[in-house]
Structure 1
Amino acid sequence: MTAKSHAGHSILETIKTIVYALLIAGVFRTLFFQPFWIPSGSMKETLLIGDFLFVNKMAYGYSYASCPSVRLGSIGIDVDASDICGFLDGENTRILGSEPERGDVVVFRHPVTGTDFIKRLIGLPGDRIQVTNGVLQINGTAVALQDAGDFEELMERQGPIGSYPRCENAPVGEGATCAKSRQIETLPGGVEHVILNIANQGMDHTGVYQVPEGHYFFMGDNRDNSSDSRLPQSAGGVGFVPFENLIGRADRIMFSSAGRSMLYFWTWRGDRFFKGIE
């Protein structure tokens, strides 16, 4: 074999190795775990901007939403999950499906835009959900609430987007303490989790939402700073989410970065490595 043919063979083997690695990674991501980077503060304090976690796709079985979407606008790539796994789409079903539980933190596809969201599962099929004076009501019964002091953070730009947090003690200057009221909410079934409140606003006073069969109702833990099922899809919200749109359950934070990039290791939060999600 000449030097030229040997070089060509080596290049071909390298390309094959890369293709095989990408295929294996794609299958792994489709069937088992999907990485997820928290971009917003809608789930504080459970999830902070910059948390990095893996979503357990085996928790609820598989649907078209289990396939990854690939969107790289800078080079014109826009491949939706339905383009890859559209054969699984329809009739709101799942393969090897199992029902999620109230209180799970779930990643799902927005029913209209296809964007990945992460929220807490509040309402199951058939439930009646309402928020009255800021208190969640499930099937006519108020959830138990316990005051838990304040959640405090600095008034500064957060994450790659560089957005500022909203504060109950506003106005707050740059670098000062931004505070929100914190409570422990107990859902039917016993799941306890922290919720935050900022102000008295429209989503603290809602009508009754009747969750349809085969659909779920989601809310953010940062109640006054979350676009979720309280707002219908026609108004830019999430609305009711079909079973087939669930991607998986978030169980554990792998690590967390308080900086503008996950690569800035000097901004990693030391107390959030492998932290369980409650």
Structure 2
Amino acid sequence: MLVTERRERILALVRERGTLPLSELASTLGVSDMTVRRDIDLLAEDGEVQKVRGGVRAIGAGRPVSGAATTSRSELRAIASAAADLVEPGMAIGISGGEAGLALAHELRGIADLTIVTNSLLVSDLFSPPSRSDAPYTQTVVLTGGVRTPSQSLVGPVAVRALEQLHCDLVFLDAHGLDVQAGLTTMNLLEAETYRAFMAMAREVIVLAEHSRWQVVGLTTIAELSDIDRLISDDALPADAAEQLRDHVGRLDVVAAGHSG
């Protein structure tokens, strides 16, 4: 089987099953675990899949969506690219769990001397040690402890305590939902506490939210919209939504993601 054929087969299997262990993929394809791991690394770099411990997950698996709205890869990449432009070498930044945070982490791997505080196992895995023992570490990762969620994030009192004594230049949060009345929301009570701890340690709080997050209301409120210093969304955000958000958040950045209007 050619390399391209094998990777197409991996993509098909992952999209069909959602999440697969590396050992099962290797057995199915008749190759070694190392070969599958290299394929997964490249597919993850291209944004085709998410790496998880001991396996691989389809993009978007386990993330709730509202109605027919789905997360567009082009939207995530545009938002993540705009967010990465705010990061400078030497900064300490926080990145929450979620697809937008993971997309941002991909954009940041080339920026040196970063300290990255995260509760995401997926984000942490991206910033792996150098492949050679004599090569320097270019980024430092601080991973919180906590209770693991289905999206491979760590939440709860242990995560909160880990964040309480830290200070970051910028904190980037993924949004489950945004609403004028409900504010920034999530479906997970422990995640809400952890997000508030992230916000407390930030000089600037930046929320990354595709247009489909607008008027989605989760189980619990994390913070009011006025607590958000900067919101980055894509150009499919309706004009009336943008007008309302500009009245509430510190700053709204709308980035081009191939949408018209």
Do Structure 1 and Structure 2 share a fold, with TM-score over 0.5? Answer: no
User: What's the TM-score once normalised by structure 1's chain length?
Assistant: 0.25
| Higher share in strand | 1
Which of structures 1 and 2 has the larger relative contact order (alpha carbons within 8 angstroms, sep 6+)? 1
